[in-house]
Amino acid sequence: MSLLVQRRLTSGHVADLIAHAPQDVAQVSDDHRASLASRFRAVPPSEHRRLDAWMVEQAGRPPGPFAWSPATARRILGNNALRRLPSVPDTILNAVRDELADQLLRAARGYARPGSLGHWLAGVAHPVLGLITGEAVNWATQVLECAQGIDVEYRVASSDVYFDVAGARTTLRGRRDLIITTDTGRVVVRIRSGQPGKSAGPGLRSDLVVETLAHPDGLAPRRYLGLWPDAGLALGVDGTMENVRAGARDFVRAAVAQRRHGLVRAA
């Protein structure tokens, strides 16, 4: 049975969820990867397909067009700012400002392609930049608050995790914010706004399967934790083969639903 662990989001409970994560984790082989690829190939997309936990939670419904806003920019800026903090002891606000300055500099030098964060930042008004700074500080502070209860080594993830499914024109994306390294494996943390809904479990399993597939040795994390600070809740899925399989099945279902939506739209 696939289990979802739920606790209040307190430093004690988060530390407990990390310490008591199972040590026997799933390992996917090339055969598993080939099997998954064949299932995705059976659902051919009209164009390159990108799937993530959000699409699984939305039952394959295609997302609306993406647009940068203070809310969509805060996670990247906030996490990048946090990665600056250990090397340069400073306030979060200054770290966010440094990160913004770097992005703007990249845009000014012509390295930011249209549609990128840097390109968008270069075109927004000064007050909007202020609001973006505030949102990024909020995010970074929130992540830091969540991480303060963790008493083992952790790092802020430098990027999300991606896995290209061979020959299926499909990319899977897993979101992650903190990676906690223990002697017996890793625990991955994802921080989210709002409150967890009924599909929060499948969403976490989807992130778990991408994290596992993208690992060089195919090793699953000991536990994938989702933290919802707004609701004060922490949910976790263990890195068992059962959860990895369930996550992969959810992705294939989302691909089927997405294709069906596409065919309906075309008709």
Partner 1 sequence: MLTDPAPELLVEVLRGDRDQRPLRDDHSAAGLRATLEDHVFELFGPERRATPTVISSATLRGSGRVSELFDSPLGRARSILIPTVFRLLVAHVHVQDPYDDALAAWRGEHPRDELVELLSHFDHDQVARLRADVHAHYCTLVQGLGPIPSSWLPRTSQRARQLLGGGSVELRDVVDLVVGSTHGVVASVALVDITTSPLGAGAERALRYHALVQTLRTSVVPLRTVAFSSATGELWALDVDHEMLTRSVEDLVEALARKDAPQ
The residues binding partner 1 (CB under 8 A) are: 8-11, 69-71, 91-94, 124-131, 133-134, 137-138, 141-142, 144-145, 148-149, 193-195, 229-232
Rounded-to-integer distance, Cα 235 and Cα 5, Å: 5
Give the nearer residue to partner 1 in terms of CB position, either 144 or 219: 144
Give the nearer residue to partner 1 in terms of CB position, either 104 or 124: 124
Supply the DSSP symbol for 63.
Answer: P
Rounded-to-integer distance, Cα 6 and Cα 246, Å: 18
Least distance CB 15 / partner 1 (angstroms): 12
Give the nearer residue to partner 1 in terms of CB position, either 71 or 263: 71
Rounded-to-integer distance, Cα 141 and Cα 161, Å: 23
* Environment class of 242 (CB within 10 Å of its CB; exposed 0-12, middle 13-18, buried 19+): middle
Rounded-to-integer distance, Cα 237 and Cα 8, Å: 15
3-state secondary structure of 183: coil
Give the nearer residue to partner 1 in terms of CB position, either 18 or 92: 92
Give the nearer residue to partner 1 in terms of CB position, either 171 or 199: 199
Number of separate helices (H) and strands (E) present in the chain: 9, 9
Least distance CB 246 / partner 1 (angstroms): 24
Least distance CB 218 / partner 1 (angstroms): 36
Q: Are 164 and 129 in contact (CB under 8 A)?
A: no
Least distance CB 230 / partner 1 (angstroms): 5
Least distance CB 238 / partner 1 (angstroms): 24
Give the nearer residue to partner 1 in terms of CB position, either 196 or 247: 196
Supply the DSSP symbol for 219.
Answer: B
Rounded-to-integer distance, Cα 34 and Cα 50, Å: 18
Least distance CB 133 / partner 1 (angstroms): 5
Treating both helix axes as pointing N-terminal to C-terminal, what angle do 126-147 and 70-84 enclose, rounded to 10 degrees? Answer: 60
Give the nearer residue to partner 1 in terms of CB position, either 80 or 142: 142
Least distance CB 5 / partner 1 (angstroms): 17
Rounded-to-integer distance, Cα 65 and Cα 211, Å: 26
